[in-house]
Amino acid sequence: MNMQWNETQEMLRASAREFLSENYTRKSIRDARDSEQGLPENLWTHMAELGWLGLALPEVAGGSDMGFLDLCLLSEEMGYACLPSPFNESIAGCGLVLAETGAEQGLDSLRMLGLGESVIIPAFAGAYNNEGFLEFPHATRDGDGFRIDGTHLFVPHGAIASSFLCLTQEDSSSDPALFLIPADGAGISLTALHSTRDDRPCRIDFTGVHAPASALVSLGERARILVHRARQHMDVARCFDITGALTWVLEDTVAYARERRQFGQPIGSFQVLQHYCADMHIMLEGLRISAYHAAWRMSDGLDADGAVATTCAFAHQVVPRFLGMAHQVHGAMGVTIEHDLYLYSTHVSAPGAVLVPLSEYLEASLGFRPTGATTSDGL
């Protein structure tokens, strides 16, 4: 793995840092999080104009056909800016998977996505029934199409979606089936879920939703693989977002320790706080290198199951410890809503589909589970 960025990647990172810092201040992000959509105004349009949405999409769909690692560099800068955005879910998750199918319908959707004219959101979580078992919406053959009934919970940014990449279970074969469904279709209802996170999770209920045969993206084992890859893409991109956010948190924490005085001297002179900052740096760089390694393997088409699982498992451990130390240094100031550390603490969360437990990532990293076979997949 080459840890030195090429000229294009350096320009991409620098231009993203400059654009985000100039156009999305902490105040604008606070205002956006208080708004109905939860996003800065015209954010998606600006991303499309900069070419970010089409960065890793194929040229046949109007994209730049750059690598997954390049896309992750953007995610890292968005995390540094604490930017609420469906970029990871819509582009890293749905966009790259639809590009992989090569279907004409998928290419049309990708063209609209790259132009900023649509937002495709994954609905993969399912919902637990009264007996405690995870269930996915059922797809029943109905004439020349399908009838979809069921529920997905914890769908990020569901309220702003143009379409859902919806995971279902096909009734006749019990195989997984993946559909691309318009969000404004008849029989679809959304309920906003209360959350401190900035991804505005929703519950989506499908009641007698008609999906034409052309809406079927994939069926059976192929659908299972696509969902697994989409989750890996989103998990790794999320780890980059976390890395960017924690980079800002560390910089702010060190600056605060230098400025805040107690007993007539900066608190950064106290050894225990120096150790906190050193530990935070070590954890952050470990996560950064692990995330880069996973993204590099995925970009080069190498087997990345172990690298992705290791990165996510490490992120699960780093996030609470890192933020805990940052709050220790800041004291009561850091937990006030007015302080920017609060913004970052509610933005950063460990990756995972429906909060995949740490144990599943650990088992996958050790090779105890086959590809895609996690309890949370339910497939």
CATH at 268: 1.20.140.10
Q: Give the pLDDT band of residue 294 (cuts 50, 70, 90).
A: very high
Least confident of 26-30, 49-53, 128-132, 365-369: 365-369
Half-sphere exposure of 219 (CA within 13 A, CB side): 14
pLDDT in tens, 200-230: 999 999 999 999 999 999 999 999 999 999 9
Asked if residue 90 and residue 33 are part of one domain, the reply reads yes
Least confident of 272-281, 343-352, 366-375: 366-375
Instruction: Kindly tell me if the per-residue pLDDT of 350 is higher than 80.
Output: no
Q: Between these two residues, 34 and 358, which has the higher pLDDT value?
A: 34
Q: Give the pLDDT band of residue 372 (cuts 50, 70, 90).
A: very low
Q: What is the pLDDT of residue 379?
A: 57
Q: Is residue 375 part of a domain?
A: no
* Inter-CA distances, 373 with 52, 214, 229, 285, 356, Å: 32, 28, 12, 29, 12
Q: Give the pLDDT band of residue 364 (cuts 50, 70, 90).
A: confident
Q: Give the pLDDT band of residue 371 (cuts 50, 70, 90).
A: very low
Asked if residue 358 and residue 244 are part of one domain, the reply reads yes
Residue 197 belongs to what domain range?
A: 123-219
CATH at 108: 1.10.540.10
pLDDT in tens, 64-111: 999 999 999 999 999 999 999 999 999 999 999 999 887 677 788 999
Q: What is the pLDDT of residue 266?
A: 92
Q: Give the pLDDT band of residue 258 (cuts 50, 70, 90).
A: very high
Instruction: Kindly tell me if the per-residue pLDDT of 55 is higher than 90.
Output: yes
Asked if residue 161 and residue 240 are part of one domain, the reply reads no
Asked if residue 113 and residue 140 are part of one domain, the reply reads no
For residue 178, the surrounding DSSP H or E stretch is: strand 176-182
Q: Is residue 371 part of a domain?
A: no
Tell me the H-state helices in the chain: 7-23, 26-34, 43-50, 68-80, 87, 96-101, 104-114, 221-259, 271-299, 305-330, 340-347, 358-365
pLDDT in tens, 161-210: 999 999 999 988 889 999 999 999 999 999 999 888 888 999 999 999 99
Q: Is residue 51 part of a domain?
A: yes
Report residue 232 CA to chain centroid gap.
10
Q: Is residue 378 part of a domain?
A: no
Asked if residue 127 and residue 114 are part of one domain, the reply reads no
Instruction: Kindly tell me if the per-residue pLDDT of 357 is higher than 90.
Output: no
Asked if residue 205 and residue 141 are part of one domain, the reply reads yes
What percent helix, strand, coil does the chain show, rounded to 5?
55, 15, 30
Q: What is the pTM of this model?
A: 0.92
